[in-house]
Amino acid sequence: MDLSSFASLVSFVSTHNEFFVAFVHCRIRYSGRAEAELDWGDRMIVLKQDNALLIHQPVNGNPINYIKPGAHISVFREEGCVIIEGAHPQTNDVVLCEVSSVYDAMSRRLEDGRKQLLAGTEADMSDYIRDNPQVISSDFTPLSREEHTKYGFIDVFGHDKQGTLVIVECKRYAASLACVTQLRRYVEKMKELRGTDNVTGVLASPKITPNAQAMLSDWGFSWARVEPPKRLLINRHQKTLADW
Amino acid sequence: MDLSSFASLVSFVSTHNEFFVAFVHCRIRYSGRAEAELDWGDRMIVLKQDNALLIHQPVNGNPINYIKPGAHISVFREEGCVIIEGAHPQTNDVVLCEVSSVYDAMSRRLEDGRKQLLAGTEADMSDYIRDNPQVISSDFTPLSREEHTKYGFIDVFGHDKQGTLVIVECKRYAASLACVTQLRRYVEKMKELRGTDNVTGVLASPKITPNAQAMLSDWGFSWARVEPPKRLLINRHQKTLADW
DNA sequence: TACTACATCTCGCAT
DNA sequence: ATGCGAGGTGTAGTA
């Protein structure tokens, strides 16, 4: 595709909200929260229907450059190149992509109103703990879950049979030092605002790192092994698709 | 493009490491660290040269489904559809994408060995503070920076004229409660290992939230306003590109 | 709008 | 391989 046609197409899709993709040779500059530059190479440029701009190198999962949805797209036809500028009015990020060759490009209006259903999140874990409090301890009684309080956002809150308040923090992955300090912050805030020391914390996660376990013990908190529940089950060992 | 050609093309590019993009109508299932399903709709499927699989809806910056680089790609030609399976051997993630229509597709080998140069990171901030210690305080003397010690990863470490040890934690954005607890953890570990209470902390960032400032004060720590330095300057207000 | 915390976070580095 | 922390993190939820 010649550069002038490319320039026209980019202008068209950005104003008509079509999905656009191209393989190009380009170099890139970025300025905003940081400053970056990327020398000449082959990349994929994507312009989405909400004017998100993504530039991908041939490898790696993440875009090497991007502007979030809501970009203002400008196209400049220069001598021997086309410059695409994506500028985000809110974040003050600007990407300049100087394109010298266009290998291939395509655009189309895509229709998709679906949202993904997801299971196995931290919220699913706190649901599970509320319904199965014995996974925390035999005498744990939950009172609330997922509550935004002045103590912070507490995943599960309850008490034990001795009347000690118990704050449960859920993590869907191996709990680290940062998770322990988060829990500690909630417990301390609760102690301060209730004017009592009779508050403890439980970290619920599938795993915990040794340092995190040590810090947890130092603070008199405990760990409960809990797996994030996954309700939408696909048999992971079944490589064929007979039952779909 | 008909489904059989599509199936052949996907098989080809995944074994020959070409960059592949298609606009399709599909539904998706994911199983791995979580479970997800996404009903029929129009999407862009991307297969990169390192066998990263990305599926984008028409809007939003991030892929709605993905497998990280290194996926094993399988293609199944079924009655009325093609199923693309991306399975990652290390992470045990599996994405199944059932494609019923292919609107457009393109593939090509892209060549790009360039790496992006980036300025304005947290490491740049700690460099700047070491070279300009007065931004922390008039009597701060830096001793080391970016040190992986047994106390943790300390951005800048030094002392003041009274001999108090000072741990500086840099953040390139508005410092939050989590940043304060991170600093607090380093200070406490340092106190413990040095056997002294004569240790304090400084949070260096362009902004700080009110709650974080309050917690910082509670712990006797202080805040220094520091901007992340950006060396690769583009004039943000200059919308044309004369000087590039 | 600002603040908080999750995320299939991803990624790199060091142990 | 695991632990730890940064990221142009992005995104959702709430005040």
Residue B144 maps to which CATH number? Answer: 3.40.1350.10
- AA letter at B64: I
A169 touches strand C (CB under 7 A): yes
For residue A237, being part of any structural domain is answered with no
Name the burial class of residue B80, with classes exposed (0-12), middle (13-18) and buried (19+) by CB atoms within 10 angstroms of its CB: exposed
Using the 3D structure, point to which of A108, A143, A159 is the last residue of a domain.
A108
Who among B34, B69, B92 is closest to A119 (CB)? B34
Residue B179 lies in a domain: yes
Chain D bases near protein CB atoms (7 A cut-off): 1-12, 14-15
Number of domains in chain B: 2
Q: Which nucleotide is nearest to B148 (CA to C1')?
A: C14
Tokens of A130: 């509320």
Rounded (10°) CA dihedral A238, A239, A240, A243: 30
Would you state the pLDDT for residue B235? 45
**pLDDT for position B232:** 61
With respect to residue B234, please indicate whether it lies within any of the assigned structural domains.
Answer: no
Q: How far is CA B10 from CA A21, B77, B107, in A?
A: 17, 11, 9
User: What pLDDT does B244 receive?
Assistant: 52
Sign of the CA dihedral running B233, B236, B238, B244? positive
Which of B19, B57, B236 is nearest residue A44 as measured by Cβ atoms?
B19
**Whole-number distance in Å between A183 CA and C5 C1':** 12
The pLDDT score that the predictor gives to residue B47 is: 98
Q: What is the pLDDT of residues B9-18, one digit of tens each?
A: 999 999 999 9
Which residue type, as a one-letter code, is found at position B223? W
Residue A99 placed within a domain: yes
Task: Assess if residue B113 is contained within a domain.
Answer: no
pLDDT digits (tens, 9 = 90+) for A218-236: 999 999 999 999 876 554 4
3-class SS of residue B113: coil
Show the domain range for B131: 122-225
Cα–Cα dist A241/A235, whole Å: 10
User: Model-level pTM?
Assistant: 0.94
Summarize pLDDT for A111-136 with one digit per residue, the tens. 999 999 999 999 999 999 999 999 99
Q: Does A28 fall in a domain?
A: yes
pLDDT confidence band for A242 (50 / 70 / 90)? very low
DSSP string over A122-149: HHHHHHHHHH-GGGT-TT-EEEEEEEEE
* pLDDT at B75 exceeding the cut of 70: yes
Over residues B20-34, the pLDDT tens digits come to: 999 999 999 999 999
Domain finish residue from B83, B108, B133: B108
pLDDT score of B243 more than 70:
no
B114 in any annotated domain: no
Q: Where are the alpha helices (DSSP H) in chain B?
A: 3-16, 122-131, 177-194, 210-218
* Band of residue A240 on the pLDDT scale cut at 50, 70, 90: very low
Domain boundary among A78, A108, A138: A108
**Which amino acid would we find at residue B37?**
E
